[in-house]
Amino acid sequence: MYEYDLLVVGSANADLVIGVERRPGAGETVLGTDLALHPGGKGANQAVAAARLGARTALLARVGDDAHGTLLLDSQRAAGVDTAGVLVGGAPTGVALITVDPSGDNSIVVSPGANGRLTPDDVRAAAPLLGSARVVSAQLEIPLETVEEVVRTLPAGSRFVLNPSPPRPLPPAVLAACDPLIVNEHEARVLLGADAGDTPGRWAEALLALGPRSVVVTLGGEGALVADSAGAVLVPAVRVDAVDTTGAGDSFTAALAWRLGAGERLADAAAYAARVGAVAVTREGAQASFPTAEEVAAL
């Protein structure tokens, strides 16, 4: 019996958000709105999103012994996330500097801080936590060698989900463990390089050839393409008026991972995740925008 539906191994950041009429070019200064502070980071976002949907969720991460770290721990606990795996100290809490334009699109610069100090030793020490989760999800805002250790430590029977963001080339062992590998268009192009091609179907085919058991290519307003050895299926997007896309991809990944762990087929899990992401983009912020299962059902 698994104690957790989902264990997220990843980053926890303080999001510093400014709204702008347009993002500045090189050497340009633009005025924005008042600064807003939100709990964020891809790992922490995924954990909150899953817990808010009703999944039994735990987080393995590192934050600083500072006010931002306290903010992040408080937000996790308020959502119902088990924070026993969150380590404190070693560096200041990570920070993400985010600009959001009127269409809801965002640009993000991340200072990893304590996220960069989440080590393979930390993963090995948390082996009992990994063994108690049905699904383990990770991203690349923590060191790649730490993600590699997650794959090595993961017990047989647990499922591994990876969103390689920010993207970089991945070792074969990590790729082979992914079920699924979840990428957007930019991440697909980085992973594939010259072999990227120019269509989602080509990306999915080429990504599967790298070794993951399944692939999900998110396509924004066009939905998502899911692919495995049985073929590819386009999951349509849910049409809404977007306010802020910050964290939407994290809510999609968390929902998908949770539903896969519950036994749903990949396409069905992706369709549910698309509904979760659709609700999230209609609200400002990352974690504050994540819906409950009841809100998703009402969409």
Whether 45 and 286 have beta carbons less than 8 Å apart is answered as yes
Pair of tokens at residue 38: 């939100």
221 is in an annotated binding site: yes
223 is in an annotated binding site: yes
Q: 155-176 burial string, b = 16+ CB within 10 Å, else e?
A: eeebbbbbbbbebeebeeebbe
113 is in an annotated binding site: no
141 is in an annotated binding site: yes
Residue type at position 62: R
44 is in an annotated binding site: yes
250 is in an annotated binding site: yes
218 is in an annotated binding site: yes
283 is in an annotated binding site: yes
Report cis status (omega within 30 of 0) of the bond before 39.
no
219 is in an annotated binding site: yes
Query: Is 105 an active-site residue?
Result: no
Adjacent-strand bridge partners of 184: 218
47 is in an annotated binding site: no
Whether 296 and 272 have beta carbons less than 8 Å apart is answered as yes
Q: How far apart are CA 208 and CA 214, in angstroms?
A: 7
27 is in an annotated binding site: no
154 is in an annotated binding site: no
Q: Is 48 helix (H, G, I), strand (E, B) or coil?
A: helix
User: 23: Cβ–Cβ under 8 A, 6 or more apart, which residues?
Assistant: 30, 99, 101, 107
Q: How far apart are CA 133 and CA 150, in angstroms?
A: 12
64 is in an annotated binding site: no
Q: How far apart are CA 95 and CA 264, in angstroms?
A: 35
State the catalytic residue, choosing from 66, 105, 250, 268.
Answer: 250
Annotated binding site for K(+): 244, 246, 280, 283, 285, 289
Annotated binding site for substrate: 13-15, 41-45, 141, 250
Annotated binding site: 13-15, 41-45, 141, 184, 218-223, 244, 246, 249-250, 280, 283, 285, 289
Active site residues: 250
Annotated binding site for ATP: 184, 218-223, 249-250
